[in-house]
Amino acid sequence: MDWQSIFLSFKLATVTTLLLLGICLPVAWWFSRKKSFYKIVLEAIFSLPLVLPPTVLGFYLLVCMSPNSLLGKYWALLSDENLVFSFNGLVVGSVIYSLPFVLRPIQNAFESIDIKLIEMAATLRYSPKEIFWHIYLPLSKPAILTAAVLGFAHTLSEFGVVLMLGGNIPGKTRTVSIAIYDAFENSNYHQAHQLALFMLILSFIILFIVYGLNRKWNYIL
Amino acid sequence: MSHSHIMLNAQPDTCNFYADLQLQNTNLLGIFGHSAAGKTLLLRSIAGLESKILGQVVINNQVWQDTPRRIFLPAHMRSVGYVYQEPRLLPHLNAKKNLDFALKRAGINSKVNYNTILQIMEITDFLKRYPHQLSGGQQQRVAIARAVLSNPAILLMDEPLSALDMHLKNDIIVMIKKLTENLKISVLYVSHDYSEIMKLADHITFVQHGSFSPVLAINQIYQHHSSTFLYEQDVPNIVLGQIRSPSATQMIVDTELGELLTENFGGFKTGQNIRVMLHPRDIGLCENISESKEKNIFPATIQYVETNRKPFTIILLSVGPARLICHLPPDKFFTSNLRVGMNVPIIIKKITIMNS
């Protein structure tokens, strides 16, 4: 069993999911409160990864992050490492690639919160920030969990962007999906089977737990 | 001496809205009007939920809004308690935690006693239940307690009983009455149902197409024959009084009209302040003097007659310092010799008494 690839995949998915929650909670909150023209433009941009082929995304990310680009140059100065073909490069790519999968459910949940409850809290002297902590977050708990799992699973199953950005460096950029493809290419069907079955069972267990929790929480809400 | 006044108007060319209300001597100000008259807009403006209404809001000497001076405190910086038409409880918290949600905002100097409020609203038995496990009436009682527990400077109630059954309404009206007496807090109570307001309010304003009438004491709403209340159907006359010598079957009530004799409904003590409700159709004009042997007859003068409103002829009477209206069938009026300025005894056929 290629534990190294499995560990790397989970590390990438965990880091990406945590970063995405940090980005998407405030962004979704801002989106749910605004009705400006810029919001529509930004929403469209943030949803691009849903429709673009991973290769398009991977190609542009590669261009943006190459050592000759502005981003790549400064990154190399600050970290003594190139952004492309590195774990950090994979994180940046994954965050962008999985962003809509985390943003959409959270934004939908925030937008469906009854304005009447928001006004009620405001008249009880809760500031907009406090309303975010006391109303938006607890009432969106199931959606935030769904978003986190979607982001995690989507990063775990990512292939095209990872291949283009990271290549296939064991312990650094070789994730499970790359390892399976690699094993298959080399006619190592036994290893491909092992990894594929492992991923299948694990994904099922994760989804099973999420749906179970959501049912419990929805019952309370 | 704390000073509270509200002077608000809408931006030109938007909607018709004008309110100029002094809240100096009012405890519970009833705001009465038909739907879409601007009642809710007034409460929302006071709470800071409407940014497009201009003017001044001063509550207990604190300036919450003063458009010329560019002062507009956001909603969360205004110390209001707001009871909405719907309970608006947080669904993920049980009743106790919904109350705590407000209690956290009360501050150290809160004059509100938690246990007293819970007892008055009778919610101690279901504190652990979640909103979806409570009936509509229970939810609204929790919502009223919540609004009060935040220790507000003013309590705004926007049709809090309109979604409830009649028998529940009366129970909660009694609770609201106890609550406001206990707290000594200024209350604005909006309703399109005159009966709630006539039971609760000590002062009243009438809203029509966004314009608020001057604040009037509840027993003086007919002081002018231009009073808008004159034309409302089913608005009872209110007379304030005091119980004197209740016997087993009967009691005497001293009122502005004079002595009223009534059966003892039970539960009243000597010296208790009460309000008497007289329905316009329960006041009769006795042109025939022989009727005057009966009880509850008072000398009255006809001040004004309005014949153009269906289905009744409205007659405004002065009885001592009090003004009453009575309704007569139009045919009965036209066949009589009644006219403005005439002295005529009136007979009060039926009264309802409740705590003042």
Q: Which CATH architecture has domain B237-355?
A: Beta Barrel (2.40)
Confidence class for position B271, pLDDT limits 50, 70, 90:
confident
Select from A123, A128, A141 the Cβ nearest to the Cβ of B80.
A123
CB of A77 within 8 Å of a chain B CB? The answer is no
Select from A119, A141, A220 the Cβ nearest to the Cβ of B49.
A119
**Over 70: is that where the pLDDT of B289 sits?**
no
For residue A80, give the DSSP letter: S
Q: For residue range B87-125, list pLDDT tens digits in order.
A: 999 999 999 999 999 999 888 777 788 999 999 999 999
User: SS3 sequence, B314-344?
Assistant: EEEEEECCEEEEEEECHHHHHHCCCCCCCEE
Burial of B228 (0-12, 13-18, 19+ CB in 10 A): middle
CB contact (8 A) between residue B90 and residue A135 = yes
pLDDT of residue A48: 93
Q: For residue range A177-197, list pLDDT tens digits in order.
A: 999 999 999 999 999 999 999
pLDDT of residue A104: 93
Cα–Cα distance measured from residue B41 to residue B73, given in angstroms and rounded to the nearest whole number: 17
pLDDT of residue B188: 96
**Over 90: is that where the pLDDT of A11 sits?**
yes
Average pLDDT for chain B: 88
**For range A79-107, the mean pLDDT:** 91
**For range B282-288, the mean pLDDT:** 81
CB of A132 within 8 Å of a chain B CB? The answer is no
Select from A116, A124, A126 the Cβ nearest to the Cβ of B86.
A116
In chain A, which among 102-121 make CB contacts under 8 A with chain B?
A: 116-117, 119-121
pLDDT of residue B182: 86
A125-139, B145-159, B177-191: which has the minimum mean pLDDT?
B177-191
* Residues on chain B touching A134 (C-beta within 8 angstroms): 101
**Do the domains B237-355 and B5-220 match in fold?**
no
Closest residue on chain A to B45 (Cα): A123
CATH number reported for the structural domain that contains residue A214 in this entry: 1.10.3720.10
For residue B309, give the DSSP letter: S
**Over 60: is that where the pLDDT of A216 sits?**
yes
pLDDT of residue A213: 83
Domain covering B5-220 in this structure, CATH number: 3.40.50.300
Confidence class for position B62, pLDDT limits 50, 70, 90:
very high
The domain containing residue A184 runs over which residues? 3-220
Taking the CA of residue A92 as centre, how many other CA atoms within 13 Å lie in the half-sphere pointing to its CB?
A: 22
Select from A119, A123, A138 the Cβ nearest to the Cβ of B92.
A138
Could you tell me if B259 and B351 are in contact, meaning their C-beta atoms sit under 8 angstroms apart?
Answer: no
Mutate to test the interface with B, among A33, A114, A119, A125 (most CBs of B within 10 A): A125
pLDDT of residue B288: 64
Q: Find the radius of gyration of the CA atoms of chain A.
A: 20
Which among A52, A78, A54 is positioned nearest to A67, based on CA atoms? Answer: A78
Select from B82, B86, B92 the Cβ nearest to the Cβ of A221.
B92
| Degrees to nearest 5, angle at CA A150 with A147 and A151 | 85
pLDDT of residue A221: 57
Confidence class for position A44, pLDDT limits 50, 70, 90:
very high
A130-134, B17-21, B77-81, B229-233: which has the minimum mean pLDDT?
B229-233
Confidence class for position A214, pLDDT limits 50, 70, 90:
confident
pLDDT of residue A25: 96
* Residues on chain B touching A129 (C-beta within 8 angstroms): none
B256 to chain A, minimum CA–CA distance in Å?
A: 41
pLDDT of residue A112: 93
Confidence class for position A169, pLDDT limits 50, 70, 90:
confident
CB contact (8 A) between residue B49 and residue A122 = yes
CB contact (8 A) between residue A119 and residue B79 = no
* Residues on chain B touching A135 (C-beta within 8 angstroms): 90
Confidence class for position B263, pLDDT limits 50, 70, 90:
confident
* Residues on chain B touching A144 (C-beta within 8 angstroms): none
Confidence class for position B234, pLDDT limits 50, 70, 90:
confident
Confidence class for position B264, pLDDT limits 50, 70, 90:
confident
**Over 90: is that where the pLDDT of B307 sits?**
no
**For range B152-160, the mean pLDDT:** 95
* Size of the A and B interface in Cβ pairs below 8 Å: 55
B246 residue type, one letter? P
Total structural domains within chain A: 1
Closest residue on chain A to B46 (Cα): A123
Tokens of residue B191, six digits? 């309703």
Report the length, in residues, of chain B: 356
ipTM: 0.86
**Over 70: is that where the pLDDT of B291 sits?**
no
Which among B1, B3, B37 is positioned nearest to B19, based on CA atoms? Answer: B37
Cα–Cα distance measured from residue B60 to residue B246, given in angstroms and rounded to the nearest whole number: 41
DSSP β-bridge partners for residue B165: none
Tokens of residue B237, six digits? 């006359």
**For range B140-168, the mean pLDDT:** 93
**Over 70: is that where the pLDDT of B21 sits?**
yes
Cα–Cα distance measured from residue B148 to residue B21, given in angstroms and rounded to the nearest whole number: 23
CB of A127 within 8 Å of a chain B CB? The answer is yes
**Over 80: is that where the pLDDT of B197 sits?**
yes
pLDDT of residue B290: 58
**For range B54-67, the mean pLDDT:** 94
Percentage, residues of chain B above pLDDT 70: 98
**Over 60: is that where the pLDDT of B12 sits?**
yes
Confidence class for position A219, pLDDT limits 50, 70, 90:
low
Could you tell me if B34 and B192 are in contact, meaning their C-beta atoms sit under 8 angstroms apart?
Answer: yes
Residue spans per domain, chain B: 5-220, 237-355
Instruction: Specify the 3-state DSSP secondary structure of B215.
Output: coil
